[in-house]
Structure 1
């Protein structure tokens, strides 16, 4: 049975105007000129040091209209940063109070959303300007855990402006980073991380059995012989009936058999395979 989930943790932003594509091209990591109309991708917005203010899921309607989904707890700072130079361009940013629905499984024929953002073969996000009569039958934790298992990064207020895009694996996901499109804010740092090996971190999926839900931004522990050392940074955490799923930023050369645990209750955490190649 298909699962329909309210994605109330997201805010929808419409970016529109004659210069929309040109302006966003100079701000975000993705190549929006090369992105086909109707396609969607993750994209990051960085500060001048290459650290991420925001991760958006961006839908290109056409060169003058884009929709951007962002976690609400990144607002308003992330939107203010994105709009910083917009006064010089013909582009407007408007918050849209649309219905945002996560779908796991097949969409039934009776539901006709305004826009459908395909995430993978099993998941999609439906955007409806007016709310459709949908029977919501699953919790948003189901969606977040699916994101974690797909290795899709999360950015929150606790981790804003801490990581370059590659530390959250964006170079390996969809069309999130272009290394050929030219300049955008933070581009020098992102390029240096690729071509000079400057990035030493990556995002990993970990799983453990516990009732604990650690805080975003907190650390886990790594076993070193008979001792334990704090390491990493948790960027997403979901506990589903005693099964804890985590996304954690760690050194990118970790041994996948390395033993980790939660600092709070000493739960063993096991590294899970990523569904994509980092290199």
Structure 2
């Protein structure tokens, strides 16, 4: 294993929510889409936080902190929605022994050229570092937690580093090009993030959460569970998430390619057929995740912004798109 084939960038647009208390597991189990009560130290999971109508207010990566004095769970979430999600979740704590807050930590992304490479900040744990980490493997170190992020290239590895030793402003040290490359890798892996512009737009299945391990259909109730389960068991999922790229002729086209922007069939201006989920520009291309109709997967001539807007060239995801996960 090597410690020199990794690059690290500050992810200023992410935050971490911390939930502490004896009732934390049960509380989160009743709020999120995945089986939080079944989580054990060393493993994280995707989860959605939904409205009663099943539309996502947040997507997050949740894990249990090992060896904490009191039961402690943390969630990686987009920074622009984190304070409001803490406030909303706190409204439902009532008499439960749970305290929610934003963790003073810096979130970093570590991209490694080989799957067994050790992030520099984890050098002290090199002897026990996992050689082929499965996605959402959690490694706790003196420098904080490292969580294996999904990666489209099996010959590489990506880690989220929750740096609890550094509570400086996350914007300090952020490199915009490196951050964009990290987000493009999320898009290539088919990993969506709900952000402020897309809250209350999508059910979990539209963002492929049932295909990538973000929904449990065997756990108990949570907000929106009836809608999510009905779509699953009745086979009524009509929309999925696809990946695409948009060639940019000039910088003037960039503002129109943003989360929440409508997409259209070419030449059909009256009826939007989907919306952009996430978008980032790298090397004169906009990399996007987008909502699509099932019939459009892999074959439609889709445009962003208007029916005559820039063309979206659909790309493969590292997992199959099916009607029901």
Q: What residue in structure 2 maps to residue 216 of structure 1?
A: 259
Runs (4+) of structure 1 exceeding 6 A deviation are 134-137
Q: Distance in 1 between matches of 2:317 and 2:230?
A: 24
Higher deviation after alignment, 4-13 or 114-123: 114-123
Tell me if structure 2 keeps the 8 A contact 1:206–1:270. yes
1:122-173 CA-partner distances (Å, limit 9, x unpaired): 11111121129x9877621111111111111121112111211111100011
Q: Please identify which structure carries the higher helix content.
A: 2
Shift of 1:30: 0.7
Q: Distance in 1 between matches of 2:228 and 2:198?
A: 18
Shift of 1:2: 1.9
Q: Distance in 1 between matches of 2:58 and 2:237?
A: 19
1:31-42 aligned at under 5 Å gives the runs: 31-42=35-46
Q: Distance in 2 between matches of 1:232 and 1:57?
A: 25
Q: Distance in 2 between matches of 1:185 and 1:153?
A: 20
Shift of 1:114: 1.4
1:55-83 CA-partner distances (Å, limit 9, x unpaired): 11112225811111111111332222222
Q: What residue in structure 2 maps to residue 75 of structure 1?
A: 82
Structure 1 SS opposite 2:37:
coil
Gaps of 5+ in 1: none
1:102 aligns with 2:102: no
1:88 aligns with 2:134: no
User: Residues 136 and 255 of structure 1: is their aligned pair in 2 closer, same or farther, counting only changes over 3 Å?
Assistant: closer
1:125 aligns with 2:160: yes
Shift of 1:247: 0.8
| TM-score, with structure 2 as normaliser | 0.78
Pairwise CA RMSD: 2.4
Q: Distance in 2 between matches of 1:90 and 1:59?
A: 18
Q: What residue in structure 1 maps to residue 225 of structure 2?
A: 187
1:274 aligns with 2:312: no
Tell me if structure 2 keeps the 8 A contact 1:159–1:217. yes
Q: Please identify which structure carries the higher strand content.
A: 1
| TM-score, with structure 1 as normaliser | 0.91
